[in-house]
Every structure is written in structure tokens, then in C-alpha cells.
Amino acid sequence: MPQIHGHCDDGFGAVRAAFEENFAEREELGAAVAVLVDDVPVADLWAGWADPARTRPWERDTLVNVWSTTKGPTALCAHLLVDRGLLDLDAPVAAYWPEFAAAGKESVRVRDLLSHRAGLAGLREPHTLAELYDWELTTARLAATEPWWEPGTRSGYHALTYGFLVGEVVRRVTGLLPGAFLHQEVTGPLGIDFTVGLPEKEEGRVAELVQPRTVTGAASAFFAQMEPVAIASLANPPTGVAAANTREWRAAEIPAANGHGTARAVATLYGILAGRGSFGGRRILSEEAAERVREGQGSCRDLVLGAGFAHDTEIGLGLWLSGANRSYGPNPRAFGHDGAGGSCGLADPEAGVALGYVMNRMGPNIADDPRKMALIDAVYASL
């Protein structure tokens, strides 16, 4: 059992206990969790190892790739532009990105990109990792490709393409890639230790991702039943631990999947939404804009991830709603995003709660990793 570092308020001892149990019972290697209530940190814990050889302790400022938990900050970039009147959610994407109108996509709206309803869950032609690292090539192929389904009618998880689609709109409006825009407008001014991609100077702080020990029956069944659109979304190109531990992956701009940060940073970013657009007395988004992020776009069986869930799910304008399955706690209108392997960002404006959880041992579950769920349950038991 590794030593637990950091602090935890007396009333939130259940969070510390759940964090310890993740190491004792759920095969945690290295991890951190941060919980904010009304912008005040009530738990900020870290423990374990930053590498599988257990030679580097997980430190207070250890960074790690958080996979799709990155999608929340990327969505925030778009909502900042909407809030400023520079982006219209109901405008066609082609109004900002003219090439996007090809292959019958002239009526696809900006909100369809944010809610995974654009029909572009993955590319139809083979796309290599090296090509994924090429922003211009990837966005050009997305602009040229035909949707997998009628846009706007159903959600289908855009695992990698989400960041290029939303990110290219951000770039067309601002002239900046989303990582640079996020730094300029949010993480830089607020001192948030989070980047899209990883600057080379930070390599010494990054944790090495580790493969899961096992694959659950549910995950096995899901992968066995994958439809062509799911294969395109989740495996074109194939990504994973081996790729994500390379300098090439870390150096690239992949705004759906290669954000790097601390749990504290993730909690702060999602805390902007939990605070209805404000954090630490600073207004980042208007209350109206922050509320719009969780505007549900319709519950359905997701066309990519549906086989992995026993229930329908609903995506707002960039983030998943907690819903009846309590993915982000008992408030069905709480919202957040999981990252592959277990990481999570959570925002609950009604409770004033934000949570960031990051780790380096990938879990085998499709979503709602038991380590994440144990921490969320402990937070709400403590309120």
C-alpha cells in the first residue's frame, strides 16, 4: 500500500478511504484525485508510481495523458466563442469551414459536432498514426468524407475526430489551434496545469501509461460486436498505451484525446462549469453559456458505444449527462467526461462540486471505471 500524499478535509474522509481502496483492491498503480466544493479544494490526493517499474513516485505535479477527458476543455473553447458571439451553434459548419460542405455535409450544424451527431465518428479510409499527427491532412480528410448516418439524428461517439472537427472550427474563427486558444484564454490566465499535447520541456513530469491487467466480459463483448462505424471511430488509426507513451503522440495536437494535466487541473477546468461559468471570482463564461454546455441533444443508444451499455445515454453540447445511470453522481443533470482507462472530469452546478481523477494504469471498462465510481460515490456521501 503506497503512502497517500496531499490533504483531505475532515468531512471528506470517505474520499481518502476510497482512494486508498483503489490501490488496495482495484489495482491502482499511480493516481491523483482532486475535489472542489464551491471552488474550495476539499480533497487533493496523490499516491503510487509514475512508471510500471516503480522507480518514480507520483508527485504533486505529475502529469498524465487523460485521453477523452480532454474533450471537456475542447468543448469549453467552442463555448467561449459562442458566448462572445463569434460562433453560432445552429449555423452550418461550412459557414466557418467552407470545405466541410463536401459529400452532403452542407447542413451539418456546429451543435452536431459538439454532440457527436455529425455522422463523422471516424474516417472511412485507413488513417495511420503518423497521418493523425498531421492536422492539415486529418481535417482535410474529414472535410471530404461522407457521414456514416444522417447528421443530427443520432449520437455516435467521435472518439478521435471530435477534437479535429470542433478544433478546426475554433481555428477557423480564431486563427489558433484549440490548445493554443485554451492556453491563451483559460489555462494561462488561471494558472491551470493542463495542455493539449505535452511540451517537450515537461517530459520529466509525465507518468507512463500502463496496459490494463484484464479485460472485462462487458468490454470483450463490446469489441466482439463492433460495427464498421465503431471500428472507424475507435480503431482508425489504432491507438493505445504504446502510442500514447511516445514523444510523437505527446507532441501532436489531438484535442479529443491527448490532454495532459494533473487531477487538480482537471477539477479546475470542470470547476468552471460547476461554478456556472465562474471560478475563483473570475468570470470565464456567462451563466447562460455555462448552462448551455449541458443542454441535452436527445437520449439514444449511441451508434458507436451502444453495445457497451445496457441503457441509452445522452450527450449535451460537448459533455455527457449523468442521467439515470449516475455516471457523474446522483444528480441526473450533473455532467462530465470519462477518458479511456478511467480518468474523469465532473461538474455538478447544483451541488457546486467539481472532481478530477487521473491515473496511469488503464482500466478495462468502456466507461464508469470502478475506481472513478468509488470516488464519486464517496464525494456525494460526504456532502
pLDDT tens digit sequence for 231-266: 999 999 999 999 999 999 999 999 999 999 999 999
Nearest Cα neighbor of 60 from 361, 358, 369, 378 is 358
Residue that is written with C-alpha cell 439524428 in the block = 153
CA–CA separation, 265 vs 72, rounded Å? Answer: 12
Three-class SS state of 153: coil
Which residues does the chain have with pLDDT short of 50?
none
pLDDT of residue 364: 87
**327 belongs to the catalytic site:** no
Nearest Cα neighbor of 149 from 299, 304, 298, 257 is 304
8 Å CB contact between 35 and 355? yes
DSSP code of residue 345? E
pLDDT of residue 213: 76
pLDDT of residue 22: 98
pTM: 0.96
pLDDT of residue 219: 60
pLDDT in tens, 8-28: 999 999 999 999 999 999 999
pLDDT of residue 227: 87
Q: Which amino acid is at 259?
A: G
CA–CA separation, 329 vs 250, rounded Å? Answer: 31
pLDDT of residue 226: 78
pLDDT of residue 56: 98
Q: What domains appear along the chain, each with residue ranges and CATH number?
A: 66-257+285-324+348-361 (3.40.710.10)
pLDDT of residue 306: 82
pLDDT of residue 127: 98
Alpha helical stretches, state H, the chain: 13-25, 71-83, 110-114, 129-132, 135-144, 161-174, 178-182, 188-190, 217-224, 228-235, 241-244, 247-251, 263-274, 287-292, 370-382
pLDDT of residue 224: 58
